[in-house]
Amino acid sequence: MPEAVSYRIQDGIAVATVENPPVNALSATVRAGLLAAAERAAQDPEAAGLVLAGAGSAFIAGADISEFGKPPVPPALAEVVAALEACPKPVVAAIQGVALGGGLEVALGCDARILGPKAQLGLPEVKLGLLPGAGGTQRTPRLIGPAAALPMIASGDKVPAAKAVEMGLADAVAEGDLLRAAFARVRELAGKPLPARLNTRTDRLTAPGAREAFEAAAQALAKRAADEPQIAAIIEAVRNSFDMPLEQGLKRERELFVMLRDDPRSKALRHVFFAERQAAHIPGLPKETRPRAVNQAVVLGAGTMGTGIAMSFANAGIPVRIIETDAAGLERGRKRIADTYATSVKRGSLTPEARDARLALIEGAVGLEAAAGADLVVEAVFEELELKKEIFGKLDSIAPGAVLASNTSYLDINAMAAATSRPQDVLGMHFFSPANVMKLLEVVRAEKTSPEALATAVAVGRKLAKVPVVVGVCHGFVGNRMLSRRTQQAERLLQEGATPGQVDKALTEFGFRMGPFAMADLAGLDIGWRVRKATGATAPVADALCEAGRIGQKAGRGYYAYPEGARAGQPDPEVQTLIEGVSRKLGITRRDISQEEITERLIYPMINEGARILEEGIAARPGDIDVVWLYGYNWPAWRGGPMHHADAVGLPRIAERLAAYADQTGDESLRPAALLRQLAAEGAGFGSLKPRGGNTTKAA
């Protein structure tokens, strides 16, 4: 193992290089190495100054997030920054890639920050439910002014090189060799009194209007501050830079950091960070697997899903051909795409030039024969297995060599694969509506899917800026299979005595943007009705609403009333009468149901289904299930996903409540799954499970 921080003298200047792949996170050995380098350079007669550099593509990506929650190992990062700031010789950061979080805080301890053209600077701690904990909230305002520092820290966004210089966050973008430019800066500074460092500078704090500008920036964050504890803490800490000497401001920053770090909301957000990245590590994928190139995509079906998927390809710069069965269908699809892009242009999120470039990548065609020449085909036609089998059978020879994917939400991919002569090329690519917006992609690995086809779908998904999660074949895969448990309970809660408003409120207070019934009204109740009629399933309340023509917002009425096109539904006495009628017919005596019961009966059955999904190996890890819910169904990130939430609540409680609800309602689907019972009995959590399906390989 090479040293995490190497030290050398070059041209009379000390160079300390951080080398801690993959992203040079500030693990304990890196902190120790940086501290040693600062102390050594200070004493080293051969060194006129010190340059800090990062090996590889990152300068320093920040603290090692996996160390949070473990006992701290000295030296603390604050100590490292203080040592750099105390160095009697000039210290310059040479930043070629990302300097994030603690990485930027290290650079703020230097006399200058010289950037490569690809450098990106930022304090993304907020996204992990934290605030910068090694001086970022105190030194950034002293460098660029509190009114500029606050939005930068509160957004957590990365600042590109040129902009960083413009803001005064960095000194210059190097023309030519970065190290040479950093050396030149050391020489400029060496041999004369050093300019004031951030620990003594107060000019930005005392500038006229600084306080007023800061308070205006704080006011703009008032709403977020009420909802997110880290925003309130960031405002407090940056405000302290006016009112406290550096030492005291740092001390308070540290207290706030520790408080947030130990808050379950930050733990959940850190779990999300790793779960999202873990999902790219795919079990059973041989190391040498390489994805195929996808230079031409084909999407079958120009409906809502098909056009959304096609736009995803075009947005990523991949040429895509949409195929319909007739010209009229194609025209409707074209219009849908044009309208979607027009809205983005109107909103200012897309330039007319970018829209034209995207439109130029989308072509339309009639007839399956037009799939010839595709590298990847995504089928998004009606949810009818026989139709899909027929299409896959034809695609087999029309598009030889193409990966053949179905966007089905429920149907059996193995059956589609069996309709071809090359089942190894067949899999599912399940997008979520609206497909051009939602980040989740369930990549469904069928029985015979080859590693290469799987890797291709995952690689394409990443190019489309999606978060691909590999899942197995079953009815509804991971997301919809769990959702159906929630839908079932929501219907039963109405029959037993709850109102749509109470059910929706339970979920919005839990953190979802919408409850199941507001959601159903938005999506339309008729689709589910049609599916139920086809499969012989029933949902008495939903069926009765549909029979009464209450099919959702598009009809002006569903679970709620929408007078004159109102977007927010209002409770409707007619619905109440209808629900009470259903309860009577089913012989159910209605009762008052507490919000706690409603929440538990919506959430715990999903967790239970998640446990069954893990037992069956449909998902490799609980974190994969969490990612599905975060990016496919807007699960509140600060609750970390259903399986993380289960661990936070404690599995014994969940198992006990599920058993009690099963007894109370006679609904055996609520009985806790074997895996849930086992982990609860062991006092363990889902987080303790090892990934299923063999060794993992990170997708390219």
Catalytic center residues: 105, 125
Yes or no: say if 94 and 52 are a contact pair by the CB < 8 Å rule.
Answer: yes
23 interacts with ligand 3H9 by CB under 6 A = yes
Please choose, out of 97-105, 316-324, 401-409, 444-452, the segment that lies near ligand 3H9 by the rule CB under 6 A.
97-105
77 interacts with ligand 3H9 by CB under 6 A = yes
Please choose, out of 58-66, 191-199, 310-318, 460-468, the segment that lies near ligand 3H9 by the rule CB under 6 A.
58-66
Any idea what the Cα angle at residue 70 is, between residues 67 and 76, rounded to 5°?
65
Smallest distance, ligand 3H9 to C-beta of residue 249, A: 14
Cross-strand partners of 445: 472
| Residue with Cβ nearer ligand 3H9 (133 or 479) | 133
Cross-strand partners of 377: 298, 404
Please choose, out of 120-128, 335-343, 419-427, 636-644, the segment that lies near ligand 3H9 by the rule CB under 6 A.
120-128
Residue with tokens 């009468």: 577
| Residue with Cβ nearer ligand 3H9 (125 or 379) | 125
277 interacts with ligand 3H9 by CB under 6 A = yes
Yes or no: say if 223 and 143 are a contact pair by the CB < 8 Å rule.
Answer: no
Please choose, out of 123-131, 332-340, 465-473, 617-625, the segment that lies near ligand 3H9 by the rule CB under 6 A.
123-131
| Residue with Cβ nearer ligand 3H9 (72 or 195) | 72
63 interacts with ligand 3H9 by CB under 6 A = yes
| Residue with Cβ nearer ligand 3H9 (65 or 659) | 65
- Pick from 18, 37, 38, 61 the residue near ligand 3H9 by CB under 6 A: 61
Please choose, out of 62-70, 344-352, 386-394, 560-568, the segment that lies near ligand 3H9 by the rule CB under 6 A.
62-70
118 interacts with ligand 3H9 by CB under 6 A = no
| Residue with Cβ nearer ligand 3H9 (125 or 647) | 125
CA distance linking residue 7 with residue 34, whole number of Å: 9
| Residue with Cβ nearer ligand 3H9 (104 or 413) | 104
Please choose, out of 98-106, 312-320, 449-457, 469-477, the segment that lies near ligand 3H9 by the rule CB under 6 A.
98-106
Smallest distance, ligand 3H9 to C-beta of residue 128, A: 6
| Residue with Cβ nearer ligand 3H9 (530 or 698) | 698
Spatial CA neighbour of 238 closest among 331, 349, 350, 132? 132
In sequence order, which ranges of 592-667 are alpha helices (DSSP H)? 595-615, 622-632, 642-649, 651-665
- Pick from 28, 36, 65, 167 the residue near ligand 3H9 by CB under 6 A: 65
Burial bucket for residue 315 (CB in 10 Å: 0-12, 13-18, 19+): middle
Smallest distance, ligand 3H9 to C-beta of residue 108, A: 11
| Residue with Cβ nearer ligand 3H9 (134 or 299) | 134
- Pick from 35, 38, 58, 679 the residue near ligand 3H9 by CB under 6 A: 58
- Pick from 54, 101, 308, 451 the residue near ligand 3H9 by CB under 6 A: 101
Smallest distance, ligand 3H9 to C-beta of residue 127, A: 6
Q: Which amino acid is at 325?
A: T
Q: Positive or negative, the Cα torsion across 489, 493, 496, 500?
A: negative
Any idea what the Cα angle at residue 411 is, between residues 493 and 626, rounded to 5°?
60
* Rounded alpha-carbon distances, angstroms, from residue 127 to 122, 228, 638, 661: 11, 11, 10, 37
Spatial CA neighbour of 108 closest among 81, 76, 141? 81
Yes or no: say if 379 and 389 are a contact pair by the CB < 8 Å rule.
Answer: no
100 interacts with ligand 3H9 by CB under 6 A = yes
Please choose, out of 18-26, 79-87, 526-534, 657-665, the segment that lies near ligand 3H9 by the rule CB under 6 A.
18-26
**Greatest CA separation found in the chain?**
92
First to last CA, the chain: 25
| Interface mask toward ligand 3H9 for 127-166; x: CB under 6 A | -x---xxx-x------------------------------
CA distance linking residue 431 with residue 471, whole number of Å: 13
125 interacts with ligand 3H9 by CB under 6 A = yes
Smallest distance, ligand 3H9 to C-beta of residue 223, A: 24
105 interacts with ligand 3H9 by CB under 6 A = yes
**At 297, which helix (H) or strand (E)?**
strand 297-300
CA distance linking residue 148 with residue 646, whole number of Å: 40
Query: What single-letter DSSP state applies at residue 552?
Result: B
Q: Which two tokens stand for residue 646?
A: 């289960």
Smallest distance, ligand 3H9 to C-beta of residue 252, A: 14
How many amino acids of this chain bind ligand 3H9 (CB under 6 A)?
Answer: 26
* Rounded alpha-carbon distances, angstroms, from residue 344 to 144, 191, 308, 353, 424: 33, 56, 14, 12, 39
| Residue with Cβ nearer ligand 3H9 (625 or 658) | 625
Smallest distance, ligand 3H9 to C-beta of residue 399, A: 32
CA distance linking residue 519 with residue 162, whole number of Å: 43
Smallest distance, ligand 3H9 to C-beta of residue 163, A: 17
Query: What single-letter DSSP state applies at residue 672?
Result: P
Please choose, out of 17-25, 188-196, 395-403, 668-676, the segment that lies near ligand 3H9 by the rule CB under 6 A.
17-25
Burial bucket for residue 28 (CB in 10 Å: 0-12, 13-18, 19+): middle
Yes or no: say if 44 and 14 are a contact pair by the CB < 8 Å rule.
Answer: yes
124 interacts with ligand 3H9 by CB under 6 A = yes
Site for ligand 3H9 in 651-670 (CB under 6 A): none
What are φ and ψ of residue 172, in 5° steps? -165, 155
Please choose, out of 19-27, 236-244, 340-348, 404-412, the segment that lies near ligand 3H9 by the rule CB under 6 A.
19-27
515 interacts with ligand 3H9 by CB under 6 A = no
| Residue with Cβ nearer ligand 3H9 (49 or 102) | 102
62 interacts with ligand 3H9 by CB under 6 A = yes
- Pick from 102, 428, 472, 632 the residue near ligand 3H9 by CB under 6 A: 102
Smallest distance, ligand 3H9 to C-beta of residue 662, A: 39
CA distance linking residue 673 with residue 160, whole number of Å: 49
Count CB atoms within 10 A of the CB of residue 75.
16
Smallest distance, ligand 3H9 to C-beta of residue 257, A: 6
Query: What single-letter DSSP state applies at residue 157?
Result: P
291 interacts with ligand 3H9 by CB under 6 A = no
| Residue with Cβ nearer ligand 3H9 (73 or 586) | 73
Region for residue 11 given its phi and psi (left: phi exceeds 0; alpha: psi -120 to 50; beta: otherwise): left
What are φ and ψ of residue 514, in 5° steps? -140, 150
CA distance linking residue 687 with residue 649, whole number of Å: 13
| Residue with Cβ nearer ligand 3H9 (22 or 367) | 22
The pairing of strands 376-379 and 297-300 is: parallel
Query: What single-letter DSSP state applies at residue 16?
Result: E
- Pick from 95, 98, 272, 676 the residue near ligand 3H9 by CB under 6 A: 98
What are φ and ψ of residue 91, in 5° steps? -125, 125
95 interacts with ligand 3H9 by CB under 6 A = no
CA distance linking residue 110 with residue 101, whole number of Å: 15
* Rounded alpha-carbon distances, angstroms, from residue 138 to 110, 112, 164, 178, 245: 14, 17, 18, 28, 9
Binding site for ligand 3H9 (CB under 6 A): 22-23, 25, 58, 61-66, 77, 98, 100-102, 105, 124-125, 128, 132-134, 136, 274, 277, 698
